[in-house]
């Protein structure tokens, strides 16, 4: 097996449109096939290259999952790869003040020695919790990081673990963990076979989908309607997804839980409950019926803004559709009752008989995952420990990032004095970012694995840049477990990296954290990773129980540590050859040979095998969630409110903050604007383009106004990920169009009670006109 099989010789001249910088006129000599690593959609790419330059990127029409679909982000991958601001060598900061410090490029040995010196000084007191780690979401797009993060966290031996998950998706994990037994057992809508899709707080025509991997989401929704199905979107904005729907309903932000409970109430009241094929595998139905019975639509219509008659009609449409699914995303999880909302959305599907059946919510089966024997499992719980300052319960092994600044700034035993970040920019992505900036400036040691000198890494003492996305292999460990059709694809690196891969960087950090020193051989961690996989396979209950792990090692055809780990997972997975015991099974050679990817078929029923609760049944009524129903009842009137509330928004050309440094993705009109309804603008003497100040309990920003009836009255919207105006950053394009940081306005004191997730939507704000002569107080964009 040779990785050259992934590239094909080609001839021709690159067109000027869509070509990478300085690529015009170059002769294409190879064509590579990969999966786009920039969002969750897993779109196949056809990348034409000339020597060390990306010449052209377009959709791979032969990819069985995406069939040629491509969004602007994927088309700009060459620009990202060649970005002159992307760091290629380690950087060490000289000077205590990040605003005025200077940076110098060093070699890797010196960089790791400096990491050891600084981290060692903090860890030397024997209190491991004085070091924290923050993991950004690009880690799940990268198999090297996804595999090697675990050894790093284990070596740090700290309870202060934080990630982007508590910014946007932890409620989904917690609700699924409590219901199905595993926080990563997440059902997705079977888009290709459903006839009725109720979608809340999601805008996949801009985001390309989230916790639901579906290349060409727009085409799949159009196909739903073409075959006579219905798409209903519930959102406080008339998004692109809402505009493409059969019906769009405005809803007051943060009230989705009340709306869904009213749908459930109608299902119970009108005798529409039918569990379908999962009836024998659930428990808690009576408790659910009792909990939702009083949530009649007439009780909630003045809270949600959706009339009782509409809610009743939708409940009946959901119950009588041939195949139906309910899908909620960011707008439903980044609110005070995010876990409750996620639970209620799944219940709407379950109580209408649409769980685990074609066209409903189904559980994907990824190639690297194994089937389990039906029966009781370990289950899931939160609160195994609590954060030092605020007492937040742990969820899925981490604390809410909303309390990271507390842990840094609050004196006492266990105060965080050092921070390691991996592929994250929490200054722009987490709540109350002004306070987090204050906190980062006090750290004794900060190490960032990141390709940019950005708003967060400017506080670092050492920056360790990983390879670019085209300089490493690619396999989607996370998103194939969320895909609307089972599929698999692996791609080798296109270009040689300028430095060590993420697996080496993270392994070296793990060895430093473990006390082995900066000179220790990262092969030690490689061996631990591979041994753990093989030992589990040959141990009691493993798929190859009793086999010799040394013999299995000799059978591996992959040559790098990351690929060897992937090979073991795939060969022992649900479709694998089990090292020859299943001759027709999937092998690493076949993965390498199938350059466009492999279609593994439509989603199939997996209950009860997929359920791992301690009872072996789907827990419809987890006590913690039922208690949150009662909490909602005591605070429901507060959700109605009379003032303005703020929500975020996405744009097709923007995913993470670092995409704002790619010229082709930020060109055109400024997108960092405050959307406001005409009635609200008139009441505040604002017209389109005026400068306004938005003020919340946490902070204030000034930004240009965009008056539009695409947002409901009483709601304003500001996109996230902007605010590239900080001193000391090295992002030339982003700094020229900085926008404002919406997380200056988010309140770290407001979280989802059950998951600790930050509340980013439904934030009470005041909006006032700004005299242009007085502009500039605070964070400003014009």
Task: Please determine, for residue 591, whether its predicted confidence score (pLDDT) is greater than 60.
Answer: yes
When pLDDT is cut at 50, 70 and 90, the band that residue 17 belongs to is very low
Q: What's the CA angle centered on 438, arms 434 and 442, to 5 degrees?
A: 160
When pLDDT is cut at 50, 70 and 90, the band that residue 20 belongs to is low
Write down the pLDDT at residue 11.
Answer: 33
For residues 47 and 62, give the distance between their C-alpha atoms in angstroms, rounded to a whole number. Answer: 13
Averaged pLDDT of the chain: 94
Around Cβ 523, how many Cβ atoms within 10 Å? 11
When pLDDT is cut at 50, 70 and 90, the band that residue 9 belongs to is very low
| C-beta separation of 189 from 202 below 8 A | no
Q: What percentage of the chain reaches a pLDDT higher than 90?
A: 90
Write down the pLDDT at residue 13.
Answer: 31
Mean pLDDT computed over 97-120: 96
Task: Please determine, for residue 127, whether its predicted confidence score (pLDDT) is greater than 90.
Answer: no
Q: Which of 646, 716, 741 is nearest to 334 (CA)?
A: 646
Write down the pLDDT at residue 23.
Answer: 57
When pLDDT is cut at 50, 70 and 90, the band that residue 652 belongs to is confident
Write down the pLDDT at residue 778.
Answer: 43
Write down the pLDDT at residue 51.
Answer: 85
When pLDDT is cut at 50, 70 and 90, the band that residue 134 belongs to is very high
Task: Please determine, for residue 204, whether its predicted confidence score (pLDDT) is greater than 50.
Answer: yes
Torsion angle in degrees (nearest 10) through CA of 505, 511, 516, 517: 30
Q: What tens digit of pLDDT does each residue of 527-575 get?
A: 999 999 999 999 998 999 999 999 999 999 999 999 999 999 999 999 9
Give Cβ neighbours of residue 717 (< 8 Å, ≥ 6 apart).
236, 237, 646, 647, 648, 649, 674, 675, 711
Mean pLDDT computed over 448-456: 97
Task: Please determine, for residue 22, whether its predicted confidence score (pLDDT) is greater than 70.
Answer: no
Q: Across-strand partners of 674?
A: 705
For residues 467 and 483, give the distance between their C-alpha atoms in angstroms, rounded to a whole number. Answer: 27
Task: Please determine, for residue 221, whether its predicted confidence score (pLDDT) is greater than 50.
Answer: yes
For residues 284 and 476, give the distance between their C-alpha atoms in angstroms, rounded to a whole number. Answer: 35
Mean pLDDT computed over 255-265: 98
- Exposed e or buried b per residue across 592-613, where buried means at least 16 C-beta atoms within 10 angstroms of its C-beta: bebbbbbebeebebbbbebbbb
Task: Please determine, for residue 659, whether its predicted confidence score (pLDDT) is greater than 90.
Answer: no
When pLDDT is cut at 50, 70 and 90, the band that residue 12 belongs to is very low
When pLDDT is cut at 50, 70 and 90, the band that residue 433 belongs to is very high
DSSP 303-361: HHS--HHHHHHHHHHHHHSSSEEEEE-HHHHSSTTHHHHHHHHHHHHHTTT-BTSTTSE
**DSSP H helices in 194-254:** 204-207, 217-226, 240-243
Write down the pLDDT at residue 594.
Answer: 97
Write down the pLDDT at residue 332.
Answer: 96
Give Cβ neighbours of residue 64 (< 8 Å, ≥ 6 apart).
487, 596, 597, 598, 599
Say which residue, 594 or 667, is predicted with more confidence.
Answer: 594
Q: Across-strand partners of 694?
A: 701, 767
Give Cβ neighbours of residue 545 (< 8 Å, ≥ 6 apart).
538, 539
Say which residue, 355 or 6, is predicted with more confidence.
Answer: 355
pTM of the model: 0.95
Q: Which residue has the tokens 């041994």?
A: 531
Query: In Å, how far from its chain's centre is CA 565?
Result: 23
For residues 562 and 472, give the distance between their C-alpha atoms in angstroms, rounded to a whole number. Answer: 10
Q: What tens digit of pLDDT does each residue of 366-410 get?
A: 999 999 999 999 999 999 999 999 999 999 999 999 999 999 999
Task: Please determine, for residue 6, whether its predicted confidence score (pLDDT) is greater than 80.
Answer: no
Q: What tens digit of pLDDT does each residue of 29-56 get?
A: 899 999 999 999 999 999 999 988 999 9
Phi, psi of 423 (to 5 degrees): 55, 50
For residues 200 and 232, give the distance between their C-alpha atoms in angstroms, rounded to a whole number. Answer: 9
Query: Which tokens hold the place of 465?
Result: 């840049």
Classify residue 535 by burial, with Cβ atoms within 10 Å: 0-12, 13-18, 19+: exposed
Write down the pLDDT at residue 5.
Answer: 35
For residues 193 and 2, give the distance between their C-alpha atoms in angstroms, rounded to a whole number. Answer: 38
Write down the pLDDT at residue 317.
Answer: 98
Around Cβ 240, how many Cβ atoms within 10 Å? 18
When pLDDT is cut at 50, 70 and 90, the band that residue 777 belongs to is very low
Cα 754 to Cα 338, 342, 395, 401, 758, distances in angstroms: 8, 11, 9, 14, 11
What is the bridge-based pairing of β-strands 418-422 and 445-449?
Answer: parallel
Cα 454 to Cα 189, 346, 687, distances in angstroms: 37, 39, 34
Write down the pLDDT at residue 780.
Answer: 43
Mean pLDDT computed over 474-496: 97
Write down the pLDDT at residue 24.
Answer: 63
Q: What's the CA angle centered on 550, arms 546 and 552, to 5 degrees?
A: 75
Q: What tens digit of pLDDT does each residue of 297-342 get?
A: 999 999 999 999 999 999 999 999 999 999 999 999 999 999 999 9
When pLDDT is cut at 50, 70 and 90, the band that residue 28 belongs to is confident
For residues 481 and 366, give the distance between their C-alpha atoms in angstroms, rounded to a whole number. Answer: 5
Task: Please determine, for residue 163, whether its predicted confidence score (pLDDT) is greater than 50.
Answer: yes
Q: What tens digit of pLDDT does each residue of 264-295 get?
A: 999 999 999 999 999 999 999 999 999 999 99
Task: Please determine, for residue 238, whether its predicted confidence score (pLDDT) is greater than 50.
Answer: yes
Give Cβ neighbours of residue 424 (< 8 Å, ≥ 6 apart).
134, 135, 136, 137, 138, 163, 164, 450, 456
Q: Which of 625, 568, 468 is nearest to 34 (CA)?
A: 468
| C-beta separation of 206 from 240 below 8 A | yes
For residues 742 and 760, give the distance between their C-alpha atoms in angstroms, rounded to a whole number. Answer: 9
When pLDDT is cut at 50, 70 and 90, the band that residue 461 belongs to is very high
When pLDDT is cut at 50, 70 and 90, the band that residue 775 belongs to is low
């Amino acid at each position: 097996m040779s990785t050259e099989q992934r590239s094909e010789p080609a001839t021709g001249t690159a067109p000027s449109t869509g070509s990478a910088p300085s690529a015009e006129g170059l002769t294409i000599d190879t064509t590579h096939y990969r999966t786009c690593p920039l969002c969750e959609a897993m779109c196949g790419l056809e990348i034409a290259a000339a020597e060390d330059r990306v010449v052209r990127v377009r959709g791979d029409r032969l990819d069985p999952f995406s069939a040629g679909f491509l969004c602007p982000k994927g088309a700009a991958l060459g620009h990202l790869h060649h970005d002159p601001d992307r760091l290629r060598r380690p950087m060490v900061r000289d000077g205590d003040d990040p605003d005025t410090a200077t940076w110098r490029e060093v070699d890797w040995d010196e960089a790791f020695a400096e990491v050891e010196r600084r981290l060692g000084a903090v860890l030397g007191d024997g209190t491991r919790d004085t070091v924290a780690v923050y993991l950004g979401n690009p880690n799940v797009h990268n198999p090297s990081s996804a595999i090697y993060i675990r050894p790093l966290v284990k070596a740090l031996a700290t309870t202060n673990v934080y990630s982007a998950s508590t910014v946007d998706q932890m409620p989904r994990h917690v609700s699924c963990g409590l219901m199905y037994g595993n926080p990563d057992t997440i059902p997705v809508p079977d888009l290709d076979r459903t006839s009725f899709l109720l979608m809340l707080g999601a805008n996949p025509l801009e985001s390309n989908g989230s916790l639901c991997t579906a290349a060409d989401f727009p085409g799949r929704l159009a196909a739903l309607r073409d075959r006579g199905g219905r798409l209903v979107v519930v959102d406080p904005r008339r998004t692109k997804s809402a505009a493409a729907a059969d019906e769009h309903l405005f809803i007051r932000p943060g009230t989705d839980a009340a709306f869904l409970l009213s749908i459930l109430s109608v299902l119970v009241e009108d005798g529409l409950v039918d569990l379908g094929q999962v009836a024998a595998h659930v428990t808690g139905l009576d408790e659910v019926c009792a909990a939702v019975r009083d949530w009649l639509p007439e009780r909630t219509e003045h809270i949600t803004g959706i009339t009782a008659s509409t809610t009743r009609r939708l409940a009946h449409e959901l119950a009588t559709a041939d195949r139906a699914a309910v899908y909620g995303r960011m707008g439903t999880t980044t609110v005070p009752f995010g876990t409750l909302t996620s639970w209620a959305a799944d219940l709407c599907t379950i109580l209408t008989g649409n769980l685990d059946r074609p066209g409903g919510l189904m559980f994907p089966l990824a190639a690297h995952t194994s089937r389990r024997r039906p029966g009781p499992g370990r289950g899931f719980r939160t609160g195994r420990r609590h954060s030092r300052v605020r007492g937040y319960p742990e969820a899925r092994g981490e604390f809410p990032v909303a309390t990271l600044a507390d842990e840094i700034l609050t004196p006492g035993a266990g105060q965080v004095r050092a921070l390691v970040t991996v592929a994250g920019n929490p200054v722009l992505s987490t709540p109350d970012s002004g306070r987090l900036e204050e906190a980062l400036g006090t750290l004794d040691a900060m190490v960032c694995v990141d390709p940019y000198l950005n708003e967060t890494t400017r506080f670092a003492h050492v920056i360790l840049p990983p390879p670019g996305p085209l300089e490493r292999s690619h396999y989607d460990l996370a998103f194939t477990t969320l895909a609307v059709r089972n599929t698999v694809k692996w791609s080798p690196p296109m270009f040689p990296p300028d430095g060590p891969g993420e697996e080496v960087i993270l392994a070296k950090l793990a060895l430093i954290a473990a006390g082995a020193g900066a000179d220790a051989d990262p092969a030690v961690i490689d061996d631990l990773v591979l041994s753990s996989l093989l030992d589990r396979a040959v141990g009691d209950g493993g798929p190859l129980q009793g086999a010799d792990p040394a013999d299995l090692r000799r059978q591996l055809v992959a040559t790098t540590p990351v690929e060897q780990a992937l090979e073991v997972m795939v060969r022992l997975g649900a479709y694998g050859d089990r090292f020859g015991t299943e001759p027709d099974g999937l092998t690493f050679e076949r993965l390498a040979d199938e350059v466009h990817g492999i279609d593994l078929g439509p989603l199939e029923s997996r209950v009860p095998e997929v359920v791992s609760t301690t009872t072996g049944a789907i827990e419809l009524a987890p006590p913690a969630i039922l208690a949150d129903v009662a909490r909602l009842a005591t605070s429901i009137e507060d959700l109605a409110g009379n003032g303005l509330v703020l929500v975020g928004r996405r744009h097709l050309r923007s995913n993470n903050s670092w995409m704002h440094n790619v010229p082709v993705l930020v060109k055109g009109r400024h997108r960092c604007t405050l959307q406001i309804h005409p009635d609200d603008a008139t009441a505040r003497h604002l017209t389109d383009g005026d400068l306004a100040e938005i003020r919340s309990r946490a902070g204030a920003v000034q930004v240009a106004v965009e008056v539009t009836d695409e947002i409901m009255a009483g709601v304003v919207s500001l996109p996230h990920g902007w605010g590239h105006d900080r001193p000391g950053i090295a992002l030339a394009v982003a700094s020229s169009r900085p926008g404002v940081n919406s997380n200056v306005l988010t309140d770290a004191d407001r979280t989802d009670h059950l998951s600790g997730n930050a509340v980013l939507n439904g934030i009470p704000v005041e909006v006032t006109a700004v005299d242009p002569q007085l502009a500039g107080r605070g964070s400003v964009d014009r």
